[in-house]
Amino acid sequence: MKNKNRFLSSLGQLAVPLVALALLILFNLIRDPGFFSIGTAVNNSGNAVLTGNIISIIDSASELAIIAMGMTLVTAACGGQDISVGTVGAIAGAIFVKALLQWFGVINGFTLAGALILCCIGAIAFKLFNGTLVAVFRIQPMIATLILYSCGRSIAYWINGDATPQINSPIIDAIGKTIPGVPIPTPVFCVVLMGLLLFLVFRFTNLRLYTQSVGINEKAARLNGINPVAIKLLSFTVLGVCVAVASVIGISRMGNLAHKTLLVDIEMDAILAVAIGGNSLGGGKFRLSGTIMGAYIIQMLNTTLNAMIKDSPESIRAIKAVVIIVIVVAGSPVIKQLLHRLGAWISQLFRQITSRPVSGKEVG
């Protein structure tokens, strides 16, 4: 019974993203029956790769899905959102490129690993700056992260200059596109790997429990021996790693560093992915599976609108805003409470009808 109740609770939390995803799939199947068809093609390197809208969706949403995972932890622990993930991603990308092209001067497996470590350290350092403002000085997360949101890309410019350095390497191409002989885009495997790592962390540690406890009631968590400051800083650390990985994928995908456009405007999509996934933006309980679904829903919506409206980006933004408002409102606590009351009323009415005694006259 306990496992059944837990399953029903999880299903209820994922109801909104599941319904939204089903409606998008149904709409696209009606609009274009071949929308989800998958084919094969040969890329510039002569390797066979999978093609089609569904492949494009799961590939293009990779950076968003990875950052949204880290955003979920910060939201759950701090009851607020980090709006500087895109700008810190530009800083991390600048460190990654500078390490490869100037500090190491050669691109191979060892230097790539070293550059990735330095990139992660840089992103974590800036995220811990945000975390310190939030956890120690108790500044509201969106206000605390507004600092790096404003100046982060300027810092990236100071690190690597205004140039757009090209990175020509088979290893970089393999990270951003496909590994030779593997038809599935590599960023998809990166999402799976990050999700698996976080799953194992939650499975074999108490991080999920501690994060939710701090987000639900920080004072009660402290009385139970949990250090809220450490948990909040840890959530920002995880977000820093996610940002660094996403920036490396973005750079590898483009083959260059453009700090003005790398992960630009990804902050709002990451927050929306958390909200659409059924997670409370006020902190507390969270579910990464819902967040990942939210990221793919946003990308599918983008792909659908781009296929329908090709020459009007302003119209696409407006329609996207309306659709997202509907999805977020449908998942709000007020609507959930109304649906719960409606379900309870229907259930009670059904019991009254089925349990109504049958008189002798009715039987005759």
* pLDDT at site 357: 61
Q: How confident is the model at residue 10 (pLDDT cuts 50, 70, 90)?
A: low
Mean pLDDT across the stretch 42-59?
Answer: 88
How many domains would you assign to the chain? 1
Answer yes or no: is 309 within a domain: no
pLDDT: which is higher, 161 or 71 = 71
Tell me: pLDDT of 140 over 90: yes
What's the predicted TM-score (pTM) here?
Answer: 0.91
What is the maximal distance between C-alpha atoms in the chain? 95
* pLDDT at site 108: 93
How many whole angstroms separate alpha carbon 152 and alpha carbon 240?
14
Tell me: pLDDT of 110 over 60: yes
153 to 149, 150, 262, 263, 264: CA distances (angstroms): 8, 8, 9, 11, 10
Q: What is the pLDDT of residues 120-135, one digit of tens each?
A: 999 999 999 999 999 9
Asked if 75 and 286 touch (Cβ cutoff 8 Å), the reply is: yes
Answer yes or no: is 179 within a domain: yes
- Residue 325's DSSP bridge partners are none
* pLDDT at site 12: 60
Residue 154 has which token pair?
């300027």
Answer yes or no: is 327 within a domain: no
Answer yes or no: is 29 within a domain: no
pLDDT: which is higher, 321 or 162 = 321
Asked if 251 and 93 touch (Cβ cutoff 8 Å), the reply is: yes
Answer yes or no: is 277 within a domain: yes
Tell me: pLDDT of 17 over 90: no
Q: What is the pLDDT of residues 186-235, one digit of tens each?
A: 999 999 999 999 999 999 999 999 999 999 999 999 999 999 999 999 99
Answer yes or no: is 1 within a domain: no
How many whole angstroms separate alpha carbon 322 and alpha carbon 299?
15
263 to 18, 35, 177, 322: CA distances (angstroms): 26, 27, 17, 23
In terms of residue numbers, what domain contains 136? 58-295
- Tell me if residue 51 falls in helix, strand or coil: strand
Answer yes or no: is 352 within a domain: no
Percent of the chain whose predicted confidence (pLDDT) is above 90? 65
- 126 sits in the region (left: phi over 0; alpha: psi -120 to 50; else beta) called alpha
- Residue 50's DSSP bridge partners are 40
Q: What is the pLDDT of residues 302-361, one digit of tens each?
A: 999 888 887 777 788 888 888 878 877 877 778 878 878 888 898 888 888 877 665 555
E-strand ranges in 52-125 read none
Q: What is the 8-class DSSP label of residue 50?
A: E
Mean pLDDT across the stretch 40-68?
Answer: 91
Residue 247 has which token pair?
């920036």
Range 14-47 burial, b when 16+ CB lie within 10 A, else e: bbbbeebbeebeeebeeeeeebeeeeeeeeeeeb
Answer yes or no: is 43 within a domain: no
Percent of the chain whose predicted confidence (pLDDT) is above 70? 94
